[in-house]
Amino acid sequence: MGPICTKDKTNKIAIRGNAKPVNTPTPNAPLKTTNTHKYVGEEFQQEIEKNDPAYSQKQIKWNRFYQKKYEVINDETYFALLRRSTSIEQLQQQTNEDDQCKEPKLNSNKLFSKKIVMSLVQTLDGPFKLTNQDIMDAYLIKEINNEDFKNILMDGAISKYRWNFWMAQVYRNKDYDPLLYSKLKNQTPSQKVLEDITKDVNRTFPSHDHFKDYNQGQQQLFSILKALSILNEDIGYVQGMNYIVGFSLIVSGGKEEEVFWLIHFINTNPHFLWWEIYRVNFNYTKALCQVFLKNFNEQLPALYQHFQDEGISDQQYIWQWILTQFLYTFPIDSVIFFWDFILATDIFSIIKLSIAFLNEFGHCLYQKDIGQISEFFTGFIKDQLSIDVTSIINNAKSIDVTMTDDQKQFFKNYKPQSST
């Protein structure tokens, strides 16, 4: 194995231009202690927070952000208004009548609430179908402070709010059917799909207590993957889906039905279309890889050329990063922050994070040959590398993904196509 990757003394590690860096010895970085993890939900996230030096500042920021809900709406009836069958027209008329009141209610929380509820109902195209109050709170805050919501989530969530804010970010009211998941659980996909899911359930996060043997975690994973394969019959089941669903179960604390809906919302959200990366012929994934390679060449040309010279295939790294949303290659206590960043924006954030990561460790990757680079990607990142997630995310924020005109047209016009 070549030298272990660390930052240099100047903290300047971006590789620009074609000049080859001086081949000087690189100090060894501290090895990351392998964590087998036995917790799920908030406990799992709190274990990560113990090692997050920015946690206390994040906690203050997130609690302050959440308080905006009470500054904007403290009307006890707003949940009922969001859930009732009142038409948008009726709500509009009711609001107009309040506006025309002879004695205007200045600073009236009730009046302000009604206007916001009307706006939310319009956004949702009807009453809020989901009944989870915590997710409704998060959705309300997102809609009122969308830009602030995006920025605070990009910087990394905290355990108290993360899952509900993930759900709120991707929630699609028109797609939600409270009876759908139970219906799908009672159906049976093809025998091949069942066999493929069964094999991969046993291989998903085997060192995590939640998925050891055929316990509740494995049963939940099996049920969700089966339901998604039936719902997306033209795609079925593909390796990589198991990591995404398994990780979602860990973060949520085993909220089986909510995990199904999180994945389905992401799959149908035009900003993500996650399951399209698995469609037959992998055209969507290939297009993302081509955009990545274009930006890799433009932003890190020396490292890109080194990969070309050494014969490093995109399937050795970026292909897997896309198909598993980093979960196959990276430790899950880093990926959780990558997902915060991705869900705050769109699927192209995978490209930003990938380039930011290569930028972070490019100075030592440039000194490795094909065997050492392959070893770095296949095991070293996950098992031993100490990753500065904050640095990578801050770098990713400054990256603008560029595309050719043809690439822009592909993603602009892309509509999920049947694989049959």
SS3 for the chain is CCCCCCCCCCCCCCCCCCCCCCCCCCCCCCCCCCCCCCCCHHHHHHHHHCCCCCHHHHHHHHHHHHCHHHHHCCCCCHHHHHHCCCCHHHHHHHHHHHHCCCCCCCCCHHHHHHHHHHHHHHHHCCCCCCCCHHHHHHHHHHHHCHHHHHHHHHCCCCCCCHHHHHHHHHCCHHHCCCCHHHHHHCCCCCHHHHHHHHHHHCCCCCCCHHHCCCCHHHHHHHHHHHHHHHHCCCCCCCCCHHHHHHHHHHHHCCCHHHHHHHHHHHHHCCCCCHHHHHCHHHHHHHHHHHHHHHHHHHHCHHHHHHHHHHCCCHHHCHHHHHHCCCCCCCCHHHHHHHHHHHHHCCCCHHHHHHHHHHHHHHHHHCCCCHHHHHHHHHHHHHHCCCCCHHHHHHHHHCCCCCCCHHHHHHHHHCCCCCCC
Which two tokens mark 78? 């707003």
Q: Which amino acid is at 146?
A: N
Give the model's pLDDT for residue 100: 53
pLDDT tens digits, 32-85: 434 557 899 999 999 999 989 889 999 999 999 988 777 666 555 555 656 655
* b/e burial code for range 213-250 (CB count within 10 A of at least 16 → b): eeeebbebbbbbbbbbbbbbeebbbbebbbbbbbbbbb
Q: Is the dihedral of CA 218, 221, 225, 231 positive or negative?
A: positive
| Proportion of the chain above pLDDT 70, given as a percent | 80
Give the model's pLDDT for residue 395: 97
Within 13 A of 182's CA, how many CA atoms are on the CB side?
3
Give the model's pLDDT for residue 160: 95
Which two tokens mark 130? 């989901």
Burial class (CB in 10 A: 0-12, 13-18, 19+), 17: exposed
CA of residue 103 relative to chain centroid, distance: 48
CB-CB contact of 320 with 354 (8 Å): no
Structural domains of the chain sorted by starting position, each given as residue range(s) with its CATH number in brackets: 54-171 (no CATH), 180-269 (1.10.8.270), 280-413 (1.10.472.80)
Q: From the first residue on, what is the mean pLDDT of each consecutive set of 10 residues in the chain (420 residues)?
A: 40 32 31 61 95 92 84 59 57 55 46 68 81 87 88 96 96 94 96 96 92 88 98 95 97 97 96 94 96 98 97 95 96 96 97 98 94 94 91 97 98 75
Give the model's pLDDT for residue 1: 40
Give the model's pLDDT for residue 213: 74
Which two tokens mark 176? 């939600």
Contacts of 377 (CB under 8 A, 6+ apart): 316, 317, 320, 329
CB-CB contact of 292 with 347 (8 Å): no
Give the model's pLDDT for residue 137: 85
Q: What mean pLDDT value characterizes the chain?
A: 84
pTM of the model: 0.86
